[in-house]
Amino acid sequence: MSSPKQQEEREVRGASRREFLKTAATGAAAVMGAPGAAQAFDFESFLQKNFRQMSDEEIDEVLDRLSRKYSKKYGKDVTVDAVGPMDDVVYGYGLDISRCIGCRRCVYACVEENNQSRDPEIQWIRVLEFEREAATRGIDMEDGNPYYDHETVPAEDKFYLPMACMHCEDSPCTNVCPTGATWSDPDGIVVIDYDWCIGCRYCMAACPYGARKFNWGEPNVSAEDINPDMHLLGNRPRSRGVVEKCSFCIQRVRKGRYPACLEACPVGARKFGNLLDPDSEIRYLLKHKRTFVLKSELKTNPKFFYFYG
């Protein structure tokens, strides 16, 4: 433990170094000329540490800066928080495939809640349609059709399998990230620090579930549609060149709420809760229902369980 004086000294030194870098960078931009300066390059963002290396004060600074930035951009009161995991909580998700009718209400509830780009289109949840008959021979994920377009659902002799991030216990995506921009938090949510994502898409190649989406273009959400209740590692606006995916609605669940997809489901097929609580809904279904996870042979240990209700 360092004495308060040493601490203070370190902070002063840290601040002056940051000041120096800022001045140097501003100088460099000025030298490079007007076009660079006109872009209003965000030096604070450029120099921002990885989320896991930031002190509480540094996180607060970032939250404050981003809240102000987004409030100005969207012309409404936006709050960005970084609420941490609860003690003794590991999240699990259950989906009753005997109930799902493939209506895609969850997909669009997710888009709205999590500020996914409308144009170019990004959707975290993908609902696959399968032949019921084919399933008796075992599901091949490649046979799933996400583009079905019927008058009404469920279509005859079909069943539906919505997919998003499985929040694997042994997540291949986080293992391959070269910058440490994605990791699994203590409550099991696999999160992304968008400021540290360099867009190499190794994680997308590593993910066996196709859960991760890439911003090929500048994402686009209108001020009217933006959800102002944001989490730093969740639904805050992304930029071009970064990867995004389902965060179990981190901005909701860490405040005790259900995820948006669950609340949108008209048939009540979606279940969510604390895997460490023996009385939770998720533990009940793991105990009493036939459950399975996708691609269990890969030993990713997903925390997203499908079950027959």
Partner 1 sequence: MASNSPDPEDYRPPGYQLVTWVILGLAVVVVFGLTSIRTDHQPDTSRDYPSRPQLPDVEPVLLPPPPMDDEYFPCSDCHEDEPPNPIERELEDEHDEMDFEHGTLWCLDCHDLNDREKLHLADDALVEFEDSWQLCTQCHGKKLADWRAGVHGKRTGHWRGPKEYRACVSCHNPHSPPFKPLAPEPPPLRPENITPNGNVRLEAAHE
Residue 245 in tokens: 């995916």
Point out which span in 7-15, 200-208, 272-280, 298-306 binds partner 1 (CB under 8 A): 272-280
User: Under the criterion CB under 8 A, does residue 41 sit at the interface with partner 1?
Assistant: no
- By CB under 8 A, the residues from 77 to 136 that bind partner 1 are 81-87, 94, 96, 99, 101-105, 107-108, 119-121, 123, 126
Please provide residue 230's backbone torsions phi and psi, each rounded to the nearest 5 degrees: -115, 155
Distance between the two ends of the chain, CA-based, in angstroms?
54
Letter string b/e over residues 214-235, b meaning 16 or more CB atoms within 10 A of that residue's CB = bbeeebebeeeebbebbbbbbb
Please list, in sequence order, all residues whose beta carbon lies within 8 angstroms of the beta carbon of residue 272, skipping any fewer than 6 positions away: 91, 92, 93, 94, 248, 253, 258, 259, 262, 281, 282
User: Under the criterion CB under 8 A, does residue 60 sit at the interface with partner 1?
Assistant: yes
Q: Closer CB to partner 1, residue 159 or residue 183?
A: 183
User: Under the criterion CB under 8 A, does residue 52 sit at the interface with partner 1?
Assistant: yes
User: Under the criterion CB under 8 A, does residue 234 sit at the interface with partner 1?
Assistant: no
**Contact 184/190 with Cβ under 8 angstroms?**
yes
Among positions 284, 291, 293, 294, the unique one binding partner 1 when judged by CB under 8 A: 284
CA distances from 122 to 117, 198, 201, 243 (A): 5, 19, 16, 11
User: Under the criterion CB under 8 A, does residue 217 sit at the interface with partner 1?
Assistant: yes
Among positions 168, 274, 300, 305, the unique one binding partner 1 when judged by CB under 8 A: 274
DSSP label at 4? H
Residue 300: CB atoms within 10 A of its CB come to 22
Please list, in sequence order, all residues whose beta carbon lies within 8 angstroms of the beta carbon of residue 87, skipping any fewer than 6 positions away: none
User: Under the criterion CB under 8 A, does residue 141 sit at the interface with partner 1?
Assistant: no
Shortest CB 112 distance to partner 1, Å = 11
Please provide residue 308's backbone torsions phi and psi, each rounded to the nearest 5 degrees: -105, 110
Distance CA 34, CA 28 (A): 11
User: Under the criterion CB under 8 A, does residue 238 sit at the interface with partner 1?
Assistant: no
User: Under the criterion CB under 8 A, does residue 298 sit at the interface with partner 1?
Assistant: no
User: Under the criterion CB under 8 A, does residue 309 sit at the interface with partner 1?
Assistant: yes
Shortest CB 109 distance to partner 1, Å = 10
Among positions 175, 239, 296, 301, the unique one binding partner 1 when judged by CB under 8 A: 175
**Contact 37/30 with Cβ under 8 angstroms?**
yes
User: Under the criterion CB under 8 A, does residue 305 sit at the interface with partner 1?
Assistant: no
Among positions 216, 223, 239, 292, the unique one binding partner 1 when judged by CB under 8 A: 216
Q: How many binding residues for partner 1 (CB under 8 A)?
A: 75
Shortest CB 211 distance to partner 1, Å = 14
User: Under the criterion CB under 8 A, does residue 59 sit at the interface with partner 1?
Assistant: yes
